[in-house]
Structure 1
Amino acid sequence: MSERLSATRRQVLARTGASAAGIAFAGAFSELFTGTAAARGHAGYGALVPDPAGLLDLPRGFRYEVLSREGDTLRSGEGTVPGNHDGMGAFAGRRGRVHLVRNHENRASARLAVPAVRGLTYDPAAKGGCTALELDGHNNVLGERVAIAGTAVNCSGGLTPWGTWLTCEETEDRAGTNGYTKDHGFVFEVHPADPLRTGAVPLTAMGRFQHEAVAVDPHSGVVYETEDAFQKPFGLFYRFLPNRPLGGTGSLRAGGALEAMRVPDVPDLSAVQETGTTFEGVEWVPVPDSQARRTPIRLQDFGPRGITHAQKLEGCYWGGRSVYFVSSFARSAEGSAADHYGQVWRYEPHRRRLTLVVVFGPSSDVRLPGESPDNICLAPGGGLMVCEDGNGAQHVYGLTRRGEVYPMARGAQNIGTPQEPEWGEFAGVAFSPDGGTMYVNCYTPGTTFAVTGPWR
């Protein structure tokens, strides 16, 4: 998730229709949006107002609370709040409370590890994991604790229909690598209110690869998974067919079958440039060795017809009757079939149909939003909220059904120098169950915000 674009930026998608702001965007994606505000075409909430505190710029009328920062003391007394805040999910609790589960994308070199806690630690040598916050109805922090520890490079994940968080390891390191005592590259289930109920058990049947995000079909229980591989051969898009679909907490431990998506005659999704392009008859091919015992899955033999790859597969979410997934960028110089600065794809399981619905393009001004979509969520009032992970200023920005892009937040914490400023990416955007609060993380320095205001 922290891979950056090069400084050279080209408007390769101008033919899709760049706006006056220089943002190339197009897509037949009205099915994503249901809110009346989006239907009326209101593009955002106005200009961003610089924050006097130098943390987070928001439109006028909005305010933020800092819920947690790296280096603070966990309220549980278990240690220090870890860094590298990444994917996050919000869950309804009792008496109007909200539970947040937050990933920490810590590698072996991380300075602030997730503290090891008995019953919640998979590999004592690994520094990643999740922390969980409990909030009251006014976003006051009531508790903060370790939710899982001893995992590695916890990037994103996804919510389950039964109210747990699936946290994903974006690594394929084996025991003995980087000092690890166990193999990594798995998905783990985390209960937001009672982490000891789920413990630290890898869901091995879901595959061992560079996981990014997951989305669960609430009708069938099928789990869709993205693989964030930015070096060739690039990642795959997977589905996991559980033996106990929709069985509740712990049911994914019962195993199942892992398959990879094959789009006939399309070895690389980056070759597709026109929004609205549709592929019928998408195939799903059994993964030869889901544990990647000798060979990473994306390098395995899927037969003479091969398999479909894509560079930098990241965000994944369920909406309506479809699963949506993001390719954050593609670079032909690194082996992709073509260049783009972000795609959103829709797969309709009941029709076996794949459609390119959104294409992003850069502006000549790196301070404007419009490149490298990463975490994405549906906003309660209609539209999308997208975390930007590119160069220059970093935004959370929205998309309306009419193709209008608007900035919702901008990071103001300069982690560079006054001469060469730099800002940490956003991640983990999520909304409270009542839709009144947007939660979002700044990756560096690790900061979790709660944003409230006149949401439409």
Structure 2
Amino acid sequence: MSATRRQILARTGAVGAGIAFSGAVSEIFAGTAVAQSTGPDGYGPLVPDPDGLLDLPKGFRYKVLSREGSPLLSGEGKVPSNCDGMAAFRGRRGHTHLVRNHENRRKSRSAVPTVPGITYDPMGEGGCTAIEVDAHNEVVSERVAIAGTSTNCAGGPTPWNTWLTCEETEFKAGEEGYTKDHGFIFEVDPYDPRRTGAVPLTDMGRFQHEAIAVDPRDGTVYETEDAFEKPFGLFYRFHPNKPLGGTGSLRAGGRLQAMRVPGVKDLSAIKETGATFDRIEWVDVPDPLAKQTPIRFQDFGTKGITHAQKLEGCYWGGSCVYFVSSFAHRDEGSAADHYGQVWRYDPKRHSLTLVVVFGPDSDLQLPGESPDNICLAPSGGLMVCEDGDGAQHVFGLTRKGAVYPMARGRQNIGTPEKPEWGEFAGVTFAPDGRTMYVNCYTPGTTFAVTGPF
């Protein structure tokens, strides 16, 4: 296991306080016009939770919507473990529909129950569950939305109000006991999962998917790949044959391409914010199904292809798509070290720009340890789920670059002598902006947080 950011900082004796940024932090909030409602220190210090679940600032409160191992209201089985990426969709009469990933591999603590009609591979233990809550965040229904998939990490919503759940694995039929190939994207209807079933969107590629973002103008889907070993992942775009066609249209197939930045083999080598590359090239993927060779190993011609370590978050803002490299470690094969990059691709200008670089933070209990899931907040800022060692937080980021703690997990999954806390994932907001929903990965718990957002 590579050294964590906190371990590196402890060795180097970094001084100072707060997280450092270079570049235009305001770029992260492109396409949002909401004024920042938080103060310079966010919402104030976190108040210890007497119930030992979730610390929040004064004036905020939480409700546990769902907990690993409890019975699903549908009667289909138990709430699965490893709660990960999530999105919220508007329902009728003030209701909200949540679709929640479960990043279960083989031999998980609590598998997604198999349900006829929405199960892909009966040996797969991952999938999604769907939760409907009313205007008071009372759970109305909770059921399996797709089953029989594997390692459902992140994904993203579509303009036609479905969820694309991504498998972060490349296991093939016959490996690890699976009966079908894995590493696909599946579409999930949050209102009626049986409408979408369990059909892999094969033309979108078979690889270690992380997240997606859809261009609402033409339906192009951008995809990140979080490959664990060198060669690292690629950044993809998928041109659907039926753009913006609504539920099920992605099954009509399309064209998968990978991004090539001329003269750049590894994005980690770029360190200066504002660095812009014009004439970005998109190269057809030779074999999207990766029948013999994983895509990132395939032959993209004499010019090669551009890789990057730890490609994770991906979202649409304004007229561009943004994607995140959470970190890069030279000792793991990257061209250079960094603590996080945010890149902007402008489809109209065919240009790629490094807009933000995260720098070291000397307070080892404050932000920056492997930022993971992110979402734009109604307060005009950003919410970031932390995934690393030590205390686990949801952090807020203001438009001016100030970082503040929004929530801290208190569920100890270690021992009293050596405490550990499960990471946060899937942070998202209700369509009316009044509730923040977030998951604790372990033990799988989904919270609804309300207060003066």
Q: TM-score, normalised by structure 2?
A: 0.96
Q: The residue matched to 1:9 in structure 2 has which SS? A: helix
Instruction: Give the whole-Å Cα distance in 2 for the aligned partners of 1:89 and 1:293.
Output: 31
- Residue 305 of structure 1, CA deviation: 1.0
**Equivalent pair of 1:73/1:79 in contact (CA under 8 Å):** yes
| Among 9, 17, 20, the residue aligned to 1:21 | 17
Please give the per-residue CA displacement for 1:125-145, whole angstroms capped at 9, x wherever unaligned: 110000000000111101100
Instruction: Give the whole-Å Cα distance in 2 for the aligned partners of 1:148 and 1:228.
Output: 22
Instruction: Give the whole-Å Cα distance in 1 for the aligned partners of 2:369 and 2:21.
Output: 10
Q: Structure 1 12/329 Cα, relative in aligned 2: closer, same or farther at 3 Å? A: farther
Please give the per-residue CA displacement for 1:378-410, whole angstroms capped at 9, x wherever unaligned: 112311111111221111111122111111111
| Among 211, 224, 227, the residue aligned to 1:226 | 224
Task: For 1:28-43, list aligned pairs within 5 A.
Answer: 28-33=24-29, 34-35=32-33, 37-38=35-36, 42-43=40-41
Task: For 1:92-171, list aligned pairs within 5 A.
Answer: 92-171=90-169
Letter in 1 for 2:19: I
Q: Structure 1 12/242 Cα, relative in aligned 2: closer, same or farther at 3 Å? A: farther
**Equivalent pair of 1:366/1:393 in contact (CA under 8 Å):** no
Task: For 1:145-294, list aligned pairs within 5 A.
Answer: 145-294=143-292
The residue that corresponds to 1:75 in the other structure is 73
Which region of structure 1 is more displaced relative to structure 2, 255-264 or 357-366?
Answer: 357-366
Please give the per-residue CA displacement for 1:148-169, whole angstroms capped at 9, x wherever unaligned: 0000000000000000000000
The residue that corresponds to 1:349 in the other structure is 347
Q: List structure 1 runs of 4+ shifted beyond 3 angstroms.
A: 2-7, 10-14, 31-37, 39-43
- Residue 274 of structure 1, CA deviation: 2.1
Instruction: Give the whole-Å Cα distance in 1 for the aligned partners of 2:214 and 2:327.
Output: 24
**Equivalent pair of 2:426/2:439 in contact (CA under 8 Å):** yes
- Residue 245 of structure 1, CA deviation: 0.3
Q: Could you tell me which runs of 5 or more consecutive residues in structure 2 were left unpaired when the two chains were aligned.
A: none
Q: Structure 1 135/39 Cα, relative in aligned 2: closer, same or farther at 3 Å? A: closer
Instruction: Give the whole-Å Cα distance in 2 for the aligned partners of 1:173 and 1:7.
Output: 32
**Equivalent pair of 1:11/1:363 in contact (CA under 8 Å):** no
Alignment: residue pair count = 451
The residue that corresponds to 2:8 in the other structure is 9
**Equivalent pair of 1:44/1:406 in contact (CA under 8 Å):** yes
- Residue 418 of structure 1, CA deviation: 2.1
**Equivalent pair of 2:27/2:355 in contact (CA under 8 Å):** no
Which region of structure 1 is more displaced relative to structure 2, 83-92 or 323-332?
Answer: 323-332
Q: Structure 1 104/3 Cα, relative in aligned 2: closer, same or farther at 3 Å? A: farther
**Equivalent pair of 1:12/1:339 in contact (CA under 8 Å):** no
Q: The residue matched to 2:64 in structure 1 has which SS? A: strand
Q: Could you tell me which runs of 5 or more consecutive residues in structure 1 were left unpaired when the two chains were aligned.
A: none
Q: TM-score, normalised by structure 1?
A: 0.95
Instruction: Give the whole-Å Cα distance in 2 for the aligned partners of 1:268 and 1:388.
Output: 25
Instruction: Give the whole-Å Cα distance in 2 for the aligned partners of 1:363 and 1:53.
Output: 31
Instruction: Give the whole-Å Cα distance in 2 for the aligned partners of 1:384 and 1:36.
Output: 12
Instruction: Give the whole-Å Cα distance in 1 for the aligned partners of 2:238 and 2:211.
Output: 13
- Residue 32 of structure 1, CA deviation: 3.8
Instruction: Give the whole-Å Cα distance in 2 for the aligned partners of 1:48 and 1:313.
Output: 31
- Residue 31 of structure 1, CA deviation: 4.1
Instruction: Give the whole-Å Cα distance in 1 for the aligned partners of 2:265 and 2:329.
Output: 15
Please give the per-residue CA displacement for 1:391-448, whole angstroms capped at 9, x wherever unaligned: 2111111112211111111111111122222111111011000000111111011110
- Residue 19 of structure 1, CA deviation: 9.7
Instruction: Give the whole-Å Cα distance in 2 for the aligned partners of 1:72 and 1:87.
Output: 20
Please give the per-residue CA displacement for 1:233-263, whole angstroms capped at 9, x wherever unaligned: 1000000000000000000000000000111
C-alpha RMSD over aligned residues: 2.0
Q: The residue matched to 2:176 in structure 1 has which SS? A: coil
Task: For 1:394-405, list aligned pairs within 5 A.
Answer: 394-405=392-403
**Equivalent pair of 2:210/2:311 in contact (CA under 8 Å):** yes
Letter in 2 for 1:21: A
